[in-house]
């Protein structure tokens, strides 16, 4: 595996390596990322992974400085997985100055996670577009765990005719159902034991909402209430269609998305499901 920190070297590598699938990450890799690496390998001759903790996607009071940076360990894992390129640039390479241009995103970017994380998705989209332009992959893989991020990236790629195929990886979970996330390590042992409650509420909703006559907002409210009573600070629990628009009665392919804070840690999760025709 080649480890590259500079854009000039990346360009040289890319010229010599056709047909590339990129897995963009912020490092601190877990099984969820490695699943994406394996998915990438199934779709392209060469696999590139980027590790860049993107300052643009963190709010002023968020965890940018304490976000775990574990480059050596990450590189070992990727080497074991047979990754061809690890691109791990410094902030000075990717953001030599504050970008003057910004991507305007659809209203979805200000809803759900965007409602409490203003500017987050513009920060994500800006860096993802830069990484796309730098690596110029044929394919890029993103996890469904960040469902809203995935939806927005798909919209950006479609609207700007970015010639990259986006492939989504299924959320990887611990044995008790908790979605794997680098932020899980912020949880205390007691919080970690309670953390699957978010997934359990989403499961309950998908079970109950499958009936065409289910009262969707009541289900969302019940889950919210249950989490609040269990000591969480729920942010949102919402049923949407698979493009994350408000579902119409005709929509049968749905997803329930949720975000809630447990102590100091904000967790997100989602589950896709189908419901009977109305
Ligand atoms: O999902 C992530 O790790 C980040 O949001 C991404 C896509 C690498 C952009 O910084």
Which residue's CA is the nearest one to ligand 1's atom 3?
Answer: 25
Q: Say how many domains are in the chain.
A: 2
- Residues 245, 247, 248, 249, Cα dihedral to 10°: 170
Query: Distance (Å, rounded) from C-alpha 141 to C-alpha 169?
Result: 7
The Cβ-side half-sphere exposure at 235, using a 13 Å CA radius, reads: 19
Residue 278 resides in a domain = no
Over the stretch 6-33, which tens digit does the pLDDT of each residue have? Answer: 999 999 999 999 999 999 999 999 999 9
Catalytic residue among 5, 19, 30, 33: 33
Ligand 1 centroid to residue 57 C-alpha, Å: 9
pLDDT above 80 (res 278):
no
Are 46 and 161 contained in the same domain?
yes
Tell me if 58 is assigned to some domain: yes
pLDDT of residue 33: 98
* Shared-domain flag, residues 134 and 23: yes
Name the residue at shortest CA distance from atom 9 of ligand 1: 124
Q: Is 223 found in the same domain as 125?
A: no
Q: Which residues of 264-273 are buried (b: 16+ CB within 10 A; e: fewer)?
A: ebbbbbbbeb
pLDDT at residue 276, as a whole number:
85
**Whether residues 39 and 146 fall in one domain:** yes
Residue bearing the CA closest to ligand 1, atom 2:
25
Question: How close is the Cα of 25 to the center of ligand 1, in Å?
Answer: 5
- Read off the CATH number of the domain in which 6 is found: 3.40.50.620
| The domain boundary residue, chosen from 138, 169, 200 | 169
Rounded to whole angstroms, the Cα distance separating 145 from 157 reads: 19
Structure confidence by residue, pLDDT tens digits, 107-131? 999 999 999 999 999 999 999 999 9
Kindly state the percentage of the chain with pLDDT values over 90: 97
- pLDDT, tens only, 195-215: 999 999 999 999 999 987 899
Instruction: Say whether 149 sits in a helix, a strand or coil.
Output: helix
- The confidence score (pLDDT) of residue 201 equals 98
Q: Structural domain of residue 223, as residue ranges? A: 182-272
Q: Of 135, 169, 203, which residue sits at a domain end?
A: 169
Same domain, 157 and 201: no
Residue 204 belongs to a domain with what CATH number? 3.30.1300.10
Count, residues in the chain? 278
| Three-state secondary structure of 38-80 | HHHHHHCCEEEEEECCCHHHCCCCCCCCCCCCCHHHHHHHHHH
Ligand 1, atom 5, lies closest to the CA of 124
How many C-alpha atoms does 248 have within 13 Å on its Cβ side? 3
Say what the pTM is.
0.97
Q: Is residue 277 part of a domain?
A: no
Q: Please give the distance, rounded to the nearest whole angstrom, from the Cα atom of residue 263 to the centre of ligand 1.
A: 23
Residues at CB less than 6 angstroms from ligand 1:
24-26, 54, 57, 124, 127-128, 146, 149
Q: Are residues 113 and 81 in the same domain?
A: yes
Give the residues across from 24 on adjacent strands: 50
Q: How confident is the model at residue 74 (pLDDT cuts 50, 70, 90)?
A: very high
Q: Are 49 and 25 in contact (CB under 8 A)?
A: yes
Q: Are 164 and 138 in contact (CB under 8 A)?
A: yes
Whole-number Å distance between alpha carbons of 57 and 118: 9
Domain-embedded: residue 60: yes
Residue 277 confidence (pLDDT) above 90: no
| Annotated catalytic residue 33 | yes
């Amino acid at each position: 595996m080649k480890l590259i920190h500079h854009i000039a070297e990346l360009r040289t590598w890319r010229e010599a390596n056709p047909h590339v699938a990129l897995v963009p990450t912020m490092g601190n890799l877990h099984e969820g990322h490695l699943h994406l690496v394996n998915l990438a390998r199934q779709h392209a001759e060469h696999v590139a992974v980027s590790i860049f903790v993107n300052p643009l996607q963190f709010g002023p009071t968020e965890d940018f400085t304490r976000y775990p940076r574990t480059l050596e360990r990450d590189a070992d894992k990727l080497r074991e997985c047979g990754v061809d390129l690890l691109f791990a640039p410094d902030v000075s390479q990717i953001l030599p100055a504050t970008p003057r241009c910004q991507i305007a995103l659809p209203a979805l970017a200000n809803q759900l996670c965007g409602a409490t994380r203003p500017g987050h998705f513009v920060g994500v989209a800006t860096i993802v577009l830069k990484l796309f332009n730098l690596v110029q992959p044929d394919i890029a893989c993103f996890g469904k765990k960040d469902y809203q991020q995935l939806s927005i990236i798909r919209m950006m790629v479609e609207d700007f005719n970015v010639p990259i195929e986006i492939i989504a990886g299924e959320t990887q979970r611990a044995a008790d159902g908790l979605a794997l996330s680098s932020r899980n390590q912020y949880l205390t042992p007691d919080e970690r034991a309670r953390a699957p409650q978010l997934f359990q509420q989403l499961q309950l909703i998908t079970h109950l909402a499958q009936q065409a006559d289910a009262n969707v907002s009541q289900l969302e409210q019940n889950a919210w209430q249950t989490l609040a009573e269990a000591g969480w600070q729920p942010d949102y629990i919402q049923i949407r269609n698979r493009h994350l628009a408000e579902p119409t009665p005709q929509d049968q392919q749905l997803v329930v998305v949720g975000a809630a804070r447990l102590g100091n840690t904000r967790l997100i999760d989602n589950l896709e499901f189908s419901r009977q025709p109305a």
